[in-house]
Chains A and B, each alone.
Chain A
Amino acid sequence: MKKKILAAILTAAMTIGMVGCGSTSSSDNGNNSASNTEASSNELTVWCWDATFNIPAMEEAEKIYQKDHPDVNVNVVETSWEDIQTKLTTAATSGQTDTLPDIILMNDTALLNNVKNYPDLFADLSDSGIDFSKFASYKTAIGTVDGKNYNVPFDSGVTALYIRTDVIGEAGYSIDDFTDITWSKFIELGEDVLAKTGKPLLSAQAGGPDLLIAMLRSAGDSMFDEDGNPNFAGNDVVAEAVEDYETMVDKGILVEVNDWDQYIGTINNGTVASVINGCWITSTIQAQEDQSGDWGVTTMPRLDNAPNATNYSNNGGAGWMVMNDSPNKDLAIDFLKNTFASSTELYDTILPTTGAVATYLPAAESDAYSQENEFFGGDKIYEKFANYGAEVPAITLGQYWEEAKSALGTALTQIQQGQDIQEALKEADDTVSFAMSE
């Protein structure tokens, strides 16, 4: 009896499987050939991540484009950035580029590396008629490789200082005391806030140099020099940023945590009184509804001694790229040109729902950006972000961003363990050079 049941189950499983297999594979085949033949080039396939941010933005763009092109559809496949990179690498190295979509979203920090490694994979948009001067200059700089424009810049990662106005109020300060200040002033205020309220100002992931890199960038400095060589050893700006960071850790103004989840915890649980990060962190902060009205937004501190120090920086952000081998290449370019590269209506619509701050400068003039935000005490935060974005210094991100970032993280850990700053930075230089020579 048991045997019979087992046999029946196995047969059933097999049959279901075969049926499912057959039907899906044929329909998949159908889709596949549909997106890869010239004949039915009305569907654009897009790979991007975040169903609460990039994907709704893309879907909104589809609606806007459909007003003039009702027969065009956009098929969004939710794919995390790491997965997009894996798929790109596999397709490019095996020469199977027909498996790639028409448009992908590319992390800014990975653009140069991908364009240099696979120069034929991405469409050159220089002559597409897109007006790149309408985007924040630092964003256009990222997508420009050897004088050619490769991406349509999308969201901003402009950094801001988010601060708990209730906590600093308790210590007798207002947000103005934290606006346009230097790091030494920030440290001084931080000590006082810590003494009076017991709350540290900042948190960061241990060994994660995001804040350091943002500090460098605010002074127009990068982990790479203009020739693409690592730029750590003997660089006074890096040394100053590291020293400021270390001072904050030593004085307890900055608490280090082990991972990203804990970092979010320090913000939402009220462990820290402020956050310095890209403006995409806004919705994470807003998730803690209990703290509504307790937050304010202002500029991040600037380095004291660096020659080009500003209060503006950037962390993160991405842009749209068109695949060169796509049979719908022209349609894809036209789509981006009429949506992300010219439609302020698009940016107006997506701002309230996604919080995606545009790097398309004309968008900032619209009403959506001057909305007051209750969570931040009625402040017009998006207007601020847009204004900050226009001030971010343009830098070379460098082809080996990830390698340099991890080397800087290692150096930071070693310095905390007592190694000499210059010595650790020299080692970081060597590590990156070694990775580049491979």
Chain B
Amino acid sequence: MSKRKFVYFGKYVFLILVAIISIFPMYWMIVSGTNKSVDVIAGKILPGNYLMENLKSLLDTTVLSQAMWNSIRNAVVSMVLNVFVCSLAGYGFEKFHDKYKDKIMSILLLSMMVPTAATVIPLFRMFGKMGLLNTTVGCILPTVSTAFMIFMFRQAAKSFPDEIIEAARIDGVGEWGIYFKMFLPIMKSTYAAAAIVSFMNAWNSYMWPLIVLQNENSKTMPILVSGLTARYTIDYGSMMLAVTISTIPMLIIFFVLQKNFVEGITGSVKS
């Protein structure tokens, strides 16, 4: 009995240690936002009273609120479109039959192997010809459809029972109706998982927004933070505050969808 207790105790000590290790950087990031730059450098890990000064210097020298709005807008629009388009595609790939569909799918999957850096210049040229450079549409359009998302929805759609579709068809529901009234609500945990992944990708995306957006006022948060790190004298306090602020929307999205996310990853539909 006491041996078992000891193992039990040991397990918890181990887990607590691991938890501290993974939470500490996050904690330090938040705390650093309330400290002076020199204190951050000196390794101060207690909250300070320099938060307002850091915030003021951020607001004075950057377009913080504008960048925040741009990021949120781009990420939300990109997430909604991405999840909608890719789920339609994934659903279609799985539930409708065509002799070329597997070939098309493998071409799509091959496109995942091509690194973004290799496609940037052709894409930039293309958007230049289309007059979409320096526009929000130009920034969002390439993220609307991604091979990974289509693949993810196709895999998820495999667990969606054909019987439901057949039953619905017999009852006279149209194909769009089946998608919106059956597939979408039943697969909502997959949607939640996809939404988180998609939002995160859009929120963190750097390279494409960087080259496609040219105005100070169309800047997104990652680009704003990059500007902060490029100063000759880095203000670590306000930089950490900017990073903390830019983490908040992602946290909100994650916590709102968390329950569904876990289900979506593990698979939840039973036929």
* Residues on A facing B (Cβ under 8 Å): 3, 6, 10, 13-14, 16-18, 20-21, 24-25, 28-29, 31-32, 45, 49-53, 55, 75-83, 86-87, 90-91, 93-96, 98-99, 101, 261, 264-265, 268-269, 280-281, 283-284, 287-289
Question: Considering only CB atoms, which chain B residue lies closest to A316 in the complex?
Answer: B232
Residues of A within 8 A of B219 (CB): 78
CA A18 to CA B77, docked complex, whole Å: 8
Our pick among A20, A45, A96, A281 for the contact of B136 (Cβ within 8 Å) is: A20
| B77, A17: Cβ atoms closer than 8 Å | yes
Question: Considering only CB atoms, which chain A residue lies closest to B78 in the complex?
Answer: A17
Is residue B185 within 8 Å, beta carbon to beta carbon, of the partner chain? yes
Residues of B within 8 A of A101 (CB): 214
CA A93 to CA B131, docked complex, whole Å: 18
CA A94 to CA B127, docked complex, whole Å: 11
Known contacts A24-B136, A287-B37, A287-B233: does B210 contact A17 (CB below 8 Å)?
Answer: no
Known contacts A17-B73, A29-B134, A94-B124: does B227 contact A80 (CB below 8 Å)?
Answer: yes
| B227, A51: Cβ atoms closer than 8 Å | yes
**8 Å CB contacts to A: which residues of B55-79?**
61-62, 70, 73, 76-77
Of the A-B pairs whose beta carbons lie under 8 Å apart in the complex, a sample of 26, sorted by A's number, is: A3-B185, A17-B76, A17-B77, A20-B136, A21-B136, A25-B135, A25-B136, A29-B134, A32-B133, A32-B134, A32-B135, A45-B214, A50-B230, A52-B233, A52-B235, A77-B214, A77-B216, A78-B219, A87-B210, A91-B211, A94-B121, A96-B133, A264-B41, A265-B42, A269-B42, A284-B234
Residues of A within 8 A of B18 (CB): none
CA A284 to CA B62, docked complex, whole Å: 20
Our pick among B70, B80, B231 for the contact of A13 (Cβ within 8 Å) is: B80
CA A140 to CA B61, docked complex, whole Å: 31
| B215, A31: Cβ atoms closer than 8 Å | yes
Candidate in A28, A29, A49, A281 with the most chain B CB atoms within 10 angstroms: A28
Our pick among A28, A49, A288 for the contact of B231 (Cβ within 8 Å) is: A49
Distance in Å from the Cβ of B256 to the closest Cβ of chain A?
10
Residues of B within 8 A of A90 (CB): 120-121, 124, 211
| A79, B134: Cβ atoms closer than 8 Å | no
| B41, A21: Cβ atoms closer than 8 Å | no
Is residue B128 within 8 Å, beta carbon to beta carbon, of the partner chain? yes
Count of inter-chain pairs, beta carbons less than 8 A: 142
Residues of A within 8 A of B231 (CB): 49-53
| A20, B227: Cβ atoms closer than 8 Å | no
**Nearest 8 Cβ contacts at the A-B interface:** A80-B230, A17-B77, A51-B61, A96-B128, A25-B135, A94-B125, A49-B230, A283-B233
Residues of A within 8 A of B185 (CB): 3
| A13, B214: Cβ atoms closer than 8 Å | no
**8 Å CB contacts to A: which residues of B124-158?**
124-125, 128, 131, 133-138, 140
CA A25 to CA B216, docked complex, whole Å: 14
Distance in Å from the Cβ of B239 to the closest Cβ of chain A?
11
CA A265 to CA B233, docked complex, whole Å: 12
Distance in Å from the Cβ of B143 to the closest Cβ of chain A?
13
Interface string of B169-193 (1 = CB under 8 A from A): 0000000000000000100100000
Interface string of B27-48 (1 = CB under 8 A from A): 0000000000110011100000
| B128, A94: Cβ atoms closer than 8 Å | yes
| A99, B41: Cβ atoms closer than 8 Å | no
In addition to A53-B232, A53-B233, A289-B38, 12 A-B residue pairs with Cβ atoms within 8 Å of each other are A10-B80, A16-B76, A28-B136, A31-B134, A31-B215, A49-B231, A79-B227, A81-B230, A90-B121, A99-B214, A101-B214, A265-B41
Is residue B111 within 8 Å, beta carbon to beta carbon, of the partner chain? no
Distance in Å from the Cβ of B103 to the closest Cβ of chain A?
31
Residues of A within 8 A of B62 (CB): 51, 78
Candidate in B37, B135, B188 with the most chain A CB atoms within 10 angstroms: B135
Distance in Å from the Cβ of A328 to the closest Cβ of chain B?
15
| A96, B124: Cβ atoms closer than 8 Å | yes
Interface string of B191-212 (1 = CB under 8 A from A): 0000000000000000100110
Distance in Å from the Cβ of B206 to the closest Cβ of chain A?
9
Residues of A within 8 A of B234 (CB): 261, 264, 284
Our pick among A13, A18, A284 for the contact of B233 (Cβ within 8 Å) is: A284
Residues of A within 8 A of B61 (CB): 51-52, 55
Question: Considering only CB atoms, which chain B residue lies closest to A23 in the complex?
Answer: B136
CA A287 to CA B133, docked complex, whole Å: 40
Is residue B49 within 8 Å, beta carbon to beta carbon, of the partner chain? no
Residues of A within 8 A of B140 (CB): 21
| A78, B136: Cβ atoms closer than 8 Å | no
Is residue B116 within 8 Å, beta carbon to beta carbon, of the partner chain? no
Distance in Å from the Cβ of A269 to the closest Cβ of chain B?
5
| B218, A28: Cβ atoms closer than 8 Å | yes
Is residue B223 within 8 Å, beta carbon to beta carbon, of the partner chain? yes
| B136, A77: Cβ atoms closer than 8 Å | no
Residues of B within 8 A of A31 (CB): 134, 215
CA A281 to CA B128, docked complex, whole Å: 40
| A280, B211: Cβ atoms closer than 8 Å | no
Residues of A within 8 A of B70 (CB): 24
CA A95 to CA B127, docked complex, whole Å: 12
Known contacts A20-B77, A49-B230: does B211 contact A87 (CB below 8 Å)?
Answer: yes
Residues of A within 8 A of B106 (CB): none
Is residue B229 within 8 Å, beta carbon to beta carbon, of the partner chain? yes
| B216, A75: Cβ atoms closer than 8 Å | yes
Distance in Å from the Cβ of B44 to the closest Cβ of chain A?
11
CA A375 to CA B86, docked complex, whole Å: 60
Distance in Å from the Cβ of A288 to the closest Cβ of chain B?
5
Known contacts A25-B136, A269-B42, A287-B38: does B216 contact A83 (CB below 8 Å)?
Answer: no
Is residue B159 within 8 Å, beta carbon to beta carbon, of the partner chain? no
CA A117 to CA B211, docked complex, whole Å: 19
Is residue B247 within 8 Å, beta carbon to beta carbon, of the partner chain? no
Our pick among B133, B229, B232 for the contact of A99 (Cβ within 8 Å) is: B133
| A80, B229: Cβ atoms closer than 8 Å | yes
| B216, A50: Cβ atoms closer than 8 Å | no
Distance in Å from the Cβ of A94 to the closest Cβ of chain B?
4
CA A3 to CA B185, docked complex, whole Å: 7
